[in-house]
A and B are shown apart, each in its own frame.
Chain A
Amino acid sequence: MQQAFELRQGRWQLTLAEEDYGTSRQLAAGCDGFIADDEDEQVDDIERSCVNCARRRWLIDAIECTFL
């Protein structure tokens, strides 16, 4: 997973292309730390996706993983 997330200033970050959550879904499918966030905070129709995870932290055009 670290190959997709990049370590920037001590934070594991995944840059997101506008509404393409393909990588986000692939990564979450193989992640032991995934916890679905509240439905109201989800932005991908496929639930198991890093952008829907309660352990992600939104940044501008990117998310930070607090589980890694």
Chain B
Amino acid sequence: MRSWLVCIDDTDDIGTKGTGEIAEEIAHLLSDNHLSRCAFVTRHQLYVHPDIPYTSHNSAMCFQVRTAKSQNEILEIAVAHLRSESAAAADPGIALLDLQHACDREALIAFGEQAKEEVKTKAQAYALAEQLGIHLSEHGGTGQGIIGALAGLGLRLQGNDGRIKGQFNLPGLEAGEVSLSVGEVIELTGVDRVLSDCGEQLCFKTPLYLSGKVKAVYRDHQVSLLVYEEQGRWRNALKQQLKHY
């Protein structure tokens, strides 16, 4: 069994299924219902600029999966789903990296970091993918999504970028505020750790006060629940704070 990173971009349009949901569906299809083989999807924000033809936000979605399938089998499943679920007006792209494959990872990470700060072209993306031996393909429209797909791979590899797709359901949250220790939150959500907005990892016994949408970010290659201190209490980060991740 091998581990792969899969990243897709530019699959949606206003009012259609989001790219994150499509990524999650592909992850489930590839993992043959063994949920432990595909833990979570990360969302990576890319550069926003009038010259880039994104619909509304320009983000890519990436996940890791362990599977015995070959690259061709993975692509057959992923591309079929991408084609069937992408919006008619979308420009979808997919990138696939075998994590056992030796390549210049720094170059891939650099491409991801650059795609957060400058306009990249399809030609640049294809050239790098070919140089690194990474699968990159487009599946409709202009195929512009290949740029974000490759960049998303790099940013996931880098390990310090993005938010985790979705939110955590905790007992009692729907009724308002819930108080749990860090240890309990880790047990209930499966996050790797609880991280303060100053970068401090909180110890297991620290009490947390959680409300609203509880979401995590990807930091130091770990799923990290972000919290901030308010009047002596640690609270889960608001969306306004998560925006920067």
**Could you list which residues of chain B lie within 8 angstroms of chain A, going by C-beta atoms?**
12, 14-15, 18, 20-21, 43, 48-50, 54-59, 163, 165-167, 212-213, 238-243
Contacts and interface: CB of A to CB of B under 8 A. Distances in A.
A58 B240 contact: no
A67 to B, nearest CB: 9
Contacts, number: 61
Interface residues of A, number: 22
A21 B240 contact: yes
Given A45-B238, A45-B239, A55 B50 contact: no
11 contacts: A19-B240, A19-B241, A37-B56, A38-B21, A39-B167, A39-B213, A41-B18, A43-B239, A55-B56, A57-B48, A59-B48
Contact of B56 (A45, A54, A60): A54
Interface of A: 9, 11, 19, 21, 35, 37-45, 54-60, 66
Contacts of A41: 18, 56-57, 59
Contacts of A66: 14, 56
B55 A43 contact: no
Given A41-B56, A45-B213, A54 B240 contact: no
Given A42-B239, A45-B238, A58 B18 contact: no
A19 B241 CA distance: 8
